[in-house]
Structure 1
Amino acid sequence: MSHEPSAPGCRPGCGACCIAPSISSPIPGMPAGKPAGERCVQLDDDNLCRLFGDPRRPGVCARFDFDPALCGEHRDQALERIAALEVAT
């Protein structure tokens, strides 16, 4: 995502939305999607998405926007809150 424009308020390099939630749709390199808490293979060493702007990026990822109530004030809060939401749903 180094080439990815950030959503307003999004913290570059956070990557919480690419780790905490499960993704049931196929991802290049993860044909069965990914379980909650597992790092997406498309997340680079700087926690940036390699598929940003790529049509192969799952729709659920493209729809995930920064939400201050969910993402909190820092990455650790985002990971905790997204993980809690995942468990609750």
Structure 2
Amino acid sequence: MPNGKPAGERCVQLKDDNLCRLFGQPSRPKVCLQFRPCADVCGDSSEQAIWRITELEAATSL
């Protein structure tokens, strides 16, 4: 996403199974390489992770 990913918008590199198409590739963005999932951010399920990350994006995009 050349101009960055807007809050609440799904990354274009996520496949239907929520895995990244760029995982392990040199073109993977630095922000993705540095992200370390943890329970505080991701919760206990994919649904919780999506909700929490969406909330964090909305709170930090003001």
TM-score after normalising by structure 2: 0.80
The size of the alignment, in residue pairs, is 60
Q: Distance in 2 between matches of 1:73 and 1:38?
A: 22
Cα offset, 1:88, TM superposition: 2.4
- In the alignment, is residue 42 of structure 1 matched against residue 13 of structure 2? yes
Contact 2:41–2:49 (Cα < 8 Å) also in 1: yes
Match of 2:35 in 1: 64
Higher helix residue share: 2
CA distance in 2, matches of 1:61, 1:37: 16
4+ residue runs of structure 1 moved beyond 6 angstroms? Answer: none
Within the alignment, does 1:79 sit opposite 2:47 as a pair?
no
Residue equivalent to 1:55: 26
1:64 Cα offset (Å) = 1.0
Instruction: State how far apart, in whole Å, the 1-side matches of 2:16 and 2:48 are.
Output: 20
Contact 2:41 2:52 in 1 (8 A): yes
Structure with greater contact order relative to length (CA < 8 Å, sep ≥ 6): 1
Which amino acid is the alignment partner of residue 80 of structure 1? Answer: W
**Residues 1:31 and 2:2 are matched in the alignment:** yes
Unaligned runs of 5+ in 1: 1-29
Residue 43 of structure 1 deviates from its aligned partner by 1.1
Give the alignment's TM-score, normalised by structure 1: 0.59
